Structure 1
Amino acid sequence: MFTYKMNDELSLKLMEVRDAEDVFELTNKSRTYLREWLPWLDTTTKLEDTISFIKSSLTGFAENRSLNTAILFKGKMVGVAGYNEINWSKKTAYIGYWLGEEFQGKGIMTEVAKALTDYAFNELNLNKVEIRAAAGNKKSRSIPERLNFVNEGCIRQAEWLYDHYVDHVVYGILAEEWKKAK
């Protein structure tokens, strides 16, 4: 099983079906908050939906094309993060993440994104990591900005969010840039 310890308080672990209740409960607690920027809340309404997501994530991991992990802070599940996709032909990983509302503002997601970026370059030997965020989602956009990712541009109307389109800002960093900054 995949686990990645960042420090004494923070780690990532591959989600398993037995984690479904915790993930679903965390989703429910932050449903209104998360719904502002995430398009899947209305289709994740029962535990079975979360189980299906985890099973799909495990298949993606087994096929070496994605990695979705639970974020553990002081032993408690506080969010989900990972590579929504690993494109081996482009040697690029695409990071996605969400954090329960009550755990915002503690620097958790910045540390998680940093760890995932390190892992992509140092363990997977990839060349690029991308993070995409809705143009209006300042909290999500601040993470790649804080980590010195390059703003590579905007994809107009990149995502349908319940009743409107949102633009996505694409951030990227290359392995050589990441290593040089360290």
Structure 2
Amino acid sequence: MQITIDQQLSLRTLTLEDAKTVFALTDASRAYLREWLPWLDITREVADTTAYIEGCIKGHEAKSSLSLVIIFQNEIVGIAGFNVINYNNKIAAIGYWLSEGAQGHGIMTRTVQALLHYAFEELQLNKVEIRAAEGNTKSRAIPERLGFTKEGTIREAEWLYDHYVDHAAYGILASEWKQINEDFSCS
């Protein structure tokens, strides 16, 4: 699957062939990513990334998740997608990370916009959620910028190496997303 966002930015399904590139990207941004992502210490070699991708492929085949590489100017710069897709309740949870060198180009905002379009138009879901550590202002800025509602704080939601962090929980409904898009197109 491929989603073209614009001439410079696209998303496509994560494949086993991406393992070396994704591992190298992870390794190059390890210190930067480690501040907010709990899996850096268990991603020590290409085989660890391969195992992660195998899990992503199984999730995609089971229609319970969808992991995509973010391609900016013909290079993989991160991962985004639906960590969980719950068709019974028509809800999905978006997760994402971007390499340090790719920050500051609006990549993640446009990526999440494309994921919202896919969730609401293609998958016909009713709600999309994003969780981010309370202190992760860059990650929290994405749902805030895109019209999500902060629905609450989940206390001690994640163990980050040597401490717990609280998560800000955001949600947007299909009806809200459609209204935001209508308002944007009318202005």
TM-score norm. by structure 2 comes to 0.96
In 1: Cα distance, 2:138 partner to 2:104 partner: 9
Q: Which residue of the partner structure matches residue 95 of structure 2?
A: 96
Deviations 1:64-119 (A, max 9, x none): 00000000001100000000000111100100000000011110000001100110
Structure 1 segments unaligned to the other structure (5+ residues): none
Q: Percent identity?
A: 56
In 2: Cα distance, 1:19 partner to 1:155 partner: 33
Compute the RMSD of aligned alpha carbons.
0.4
Deviations 1:115-138 (A, max 9, x none): 001100000000000000000000
TM-score norm. by structure 1 comes to 0.99
Q: Do structure 1's residue 105 and structure 2's residue 104 form an aligned pair? A: yes
Structure 2 segments unaligned to the other structure (5+ residues): 182-187
Aligned length: 181
Superposed displacement of residue 41, structure 1: 0.2
SS of residue matched to 1:155: strand
Q: Which residue of the partner structure matches residue 87 of structure 1?
A: 86
In 1: Cα distance, 2:120 partner to 2:33 partner: 29
Give the 5 Å matches for 1:1-182: 2-182=1-181
SS of residue matched to 2:60: helix
Deviations 1:117-174 (A, max 9, x none): 1100000000000000000000000000000100000000000100000000000000
In 2: Cα distance, 1:145 partner to 1:80 partner: 20
Please list every run of at least 4 consecutive aligned residues from structure 1 whose deviation after the TM superposition is greater than 4 angstroms: none
